[in-house]
Amino acid sequence: MERPVLETGRLILRPPEAQDFDAWAEFCADPASMRWLGGELPRPAAWRNMLTMSGAWVLQGFGYFSVIEKASGEWVGRVGPWFPEAWPAPEVGWGILRSRTGRGYAVEAATAVMDFAFDVLGWERTIHIIHPENTPSQGVARRLGSGLLGPVSLPAPLESWPAEAWGQTREAWRSRVRP
Is 143 strand, coil or helix? helix
User: Residue ranges of the domains in the chain?
Assistant: 6-174
Domain 6-174 has CATH 3.40.630.30: yes
Query: Which amino acid makes up residue 174?
Result: R
Q: What is the pLDDT of residue 28?
A: 96
- Amino acid letter for position 176: R
Phi, psi of 113 (to 5 degrees): -70, -35
- pLDDT for 170: 96
The Cα 21–Cα 47 span in angstroms is 7
For 25-37, write each residue's pLDDT tens digit: 999 999 988 888 8
User: What's the pLDDT at 1?
Assistant: 56
Residue 179: is its pLDDT beyond 70? Answer: no
Rounded to the nearest integer, the mean pLDDT of the chain is 94
Q: Tens digits of per-residue pLDDT, 77-118?
A: 999 999 999 999 999 999 999 999 999 999 999 999 999 999
The whole model's pTM is what?
Answer: 0.94
C-alpha distances out from residue 64 to 13, 27, 54, 133, 151, Å: 9, 14, 7, 23, 23
The answer to whether the beta carbons of residues 144 and 21 sit under 8 Å apart is no
* Residue 13: per-residue pLDDT: 98
Q: Does the pLDDT of residue 147 top 90, yes or no?
A: yes
Provide CB contacts within 8 A for 55, sequence distance 6+.
63
